[in-house]
Structure 1
Amino acid sequence: MSYQIYSHTLPSATPGTQRIVKAHHFGTPGARPKIYLQAGLHADEWPGFLVLNTLIKKLKIAQEKDLIEGEVIVVPVANPIGLGQNFHGYIPGRFAFSDGGGNFNRNWPKLGDKVARVVNDQISGDIEANVTLVRQAIRHELANLPELTELQGLRKTLLALSMDADEVLDLHCSGEACMHAYVAQEFEDYFRPLLGLLEADVALSELDTGVQSFDETNVSVWRQLKSHYAHLMPWGCRSLTLELRGENDISHELAEKDAEALYQYLIYRGVIEGKTPKIDDSKVTYYPLDAMDLVKAPVAGIACFHKALGEQVEAGEVIGEVVDLMCDDVENSAHPLVARANGVFFARFQRRLVVCGESLAKIAGREHLAFREIGHLFED
C-alpha cells in the first residue's frame, strides 16, 4: 500500500467551526508489528510536532523504497482543540474548556470491563486467536463510544487509530527537563532499547498512576485480561509516554536526532527493513514514580534554581529558592527549595513567577516517599 493521509473530522463545537485530526499511514493495513505515534495531546507541548514531522519525511522515503514491513501510523498534531486556545499568542492547551473541562490526558474511557464481558467465554488455548478476539472486541466497544461533542470525537478518533497497535508512543515534554519517560513496570525491559536510542537516562516506572492517561488506556484492557488469564493473554499493546526535554528544546538538530532514534527503533522492532542498530542502554535507569519528589513553592514569588538539570542531589539539599516579593524584610525574603529525595534533578518549572504550592521541580529517587500516594502519583 502507498503512503496515505486520512483526515478525521471532529464534531462541530459551534456553528461555522470544524477541526480535523490528520493521520499519516505507512505500510500495509493490518501488517505486524503496528506502531502508533502521536504528539501534542497536551497542546502546549510542541517538540514532538517537529520530531514527528521529521520522522514522516524518513518514513516516506522508506515507503518509496518498499522497506516498511509492518504498519506505522503517525498523528503529528493530536489535539487541534487545545491548539485553538490562542489568547494573544499564548496557548494554554493542557485543559479542555468544554465537556466539563479537565486535563486532556486524564480520564480516558475505560473499556476493560466491557471487553472482558464479551470475550470471557471465548478465551482458548490459542494465544493468537485470543489476541484477535480481544482486538475485535475493542473495536466493537470503540464504535459504541459517544461522539456528540468535539472532545468525545477527539478521544474516539485517537483510540480508534491506536488501540489495536502493538506499541503506542505518546510524545510530550516538560517545562524544562532532561529527556525522560514514563513507563509501566511491566514494560521496563521491553522499552529499554528505545530509551537507549533516545539517550533518556531517566525513566519513571509505575504500575498504575490512577489518572487513566492515554497511554494507560491503550494497555488497560490487556492488563485487566492478563490478571485473569495469565499466559493465555499476551500483551496485545505496550505503551509509554516520552518527555522530549523542555518546551523550548525545539530545533531542526534535535528533531533530526530524535526522529532518527525513533526510525532506528522501528528497524529494531522489525517494522522497517534495515540493519539492526547497536544500542547502548547501559545508562538507562528506572526510578519508581512513588519515589519521585515534587518540590513545591513555599510562597508565591520569583523562583531561582541553584542546581542544573541532570545533577545528582541529596535529601535536605537546597536546589533553589523562591523570593517573596511582598516580604517587608527583603534581606530575608528568599525561601529555600529543599529536596526530599536522593536522586536526579531532572525537570523543573519553566515559568519563574510562581504561585504558592505549585510543583516547581522533580527529583527522581529510588526509595518510596511517604507523602507520595499510590494511585495518585500525577498532578494535573
Structure 2
Amino acid sequence: MSTRRHTDSEEEPATPTSAPPPNKRCNMEENGSEAFIFDEPKLSEKCGPTMRRFREKQVRNISFAIPEGYNYDKLEYLGGGTYGNVIKTTFKRENGKEQTVAIKKLREPFHDPQQARKIYREIELLQLMRHDNIICALDVYSPNNFENFKDIYIVTEYAGQSLFRVLKHQRDRSVQILKADHVKFITYQLIRALKYIHSANVIHRDLKPGNLALTDDCDLTVLDFGLARTLENADTTLTTYVQTRWYRSPEVIYWKFGSYSNSADMWSVGCIAAELLTGEPLFPGDDANLQYQRITQLCGSPSEDLLNKIERDNSAAMRQVIQSYKQHKRQDFKEYFKEHRPSEDLIDFLEKILVLDPERRLSVEEAIAHPYLAEFSLPDDEPSAGRHFDLNDGIMRTGSEWKKIIWEQIKNFQRLETSPKVPQD
C-alpha cells in the first residue's frame, strides 16, 4: 500500500470513475482552493531549537513561520479548529522530488499542563507510528528561542481531503460518491490501521470522519493523535471528553468512563461504516442523554447481563440511572438499513460491532477477519506494531516541565528519508 499523510481541506470531491477491484485503489479527484497570501519579510537569522532560518507568511490573517527549504509561494489553507490551523505547501527532497505536506500550527500549546501533555503525546506517537494508513511526522519545529517558546509546528505528508468533506459534499449536492466497494475498502483500511494502533496498546479515542483522510486513489490515513493515549498508565484517569459525541460508545458516555478499553474505537468504526453506507451520521445526538437514547433505539437497551456488569463496575445507583431510560428492543438491522441495499456481510458486520457490551463487541482482530472485508484482506500485509508504546506521560508535570520536554523533543526529532532537507551553510 502506498504512503500518504494529512488533511482537512476545503476541496470538493468528484465522483469516482470506477469501483475498486480487489486489492486495488478507488479514484477520486479534487480541486484546489485559493489561499490568501501576503508579502513576507526576508529570512530570519538562525533560531529555534534546531537553529534554522524562517520566513513569516500570512495565510488567512494567521502568521505561519515557514522554514528555509519549503515553498513559500504555494501555501494553501486547509482548515482549523481548537487545536490550531493547517496549511499545505511543498518542499524538495534530497533526490529532487517535490513532496506535498501539511503544516499544523498548534494553538496555545502551553495553555495548561494537560494541553502540553496532549502535544507531547502527539509528537511522540507521530514518531513511533510507522504504517501505511497512519499519519507520521516528517518535521517538527519552532521559530522561537526557549525564553519565548510558544509556537510549535508539526509537518506531515498531505493525505488528501477529509472523509467528512466527502460525506458533506454528498449530502449538500445529493450525489452518491461512495459506492458499496468504496465503503468496504475504506472500512478495511481503517481496521487495518487500528490493528497496528491497538497492538501498540494505544487507543485513538477520536475516530470520526474529520480525522480520516482520502487521497484521489481512495487511500485512507488515520489522523490526529492529540487525544490518543496508551493503556500502560494506570495512574491516569480516562475522560468522557473524547470522540465527537456522535461516534462515542455507550460505555464512554456512561458506565466505563474511567476505565474503558480500545473497544471504544471499534464502536466508532461501526458508526463510521454505517455513515459511509447511508451518507448520514448514525447517532446525531444533541447532548449525551439524547445520544444514548438514539443508540438504544437502534441497538436496544442493556441486557440483564450488561446491567449486572455496570452495577459491579460502578454502583447500584448507576444501574438505576441506566434503567431509568425508556427501554427499547434491538431493531432488525437488515430492515433498518434496507433502503441502502447493504450486503448480508455488511449487515452482519454492523450487528457484531454496534453492540452495547464492549466485551461482546468485535475486536480489531475479529473485525479484520470478518467475511465482509475478505475481498481486500491480505493477512501478510496487515502489520502489528510488534511492541507496546510507553509514552511515560503518566507523571504529573507542570506546564514549565512539559515545555522543557517538548523543546528537547524538537531538538532530538528523528528525521526520515522523506523529511525535508535542512539547508546547511
Whichever structure has more strand as a proportion of its residues is: 1
Q: Which structure is richer in relative contact order (CA contacts within 8 A, separation 6 or more)?
A: 2
Tell me whether the two structures share a fold, i.e. TM-score over 0.5: no
Q: TM-score range by the shorter chain?
A: under 0.3
TM-score (ref. length: structure 1): 0.27
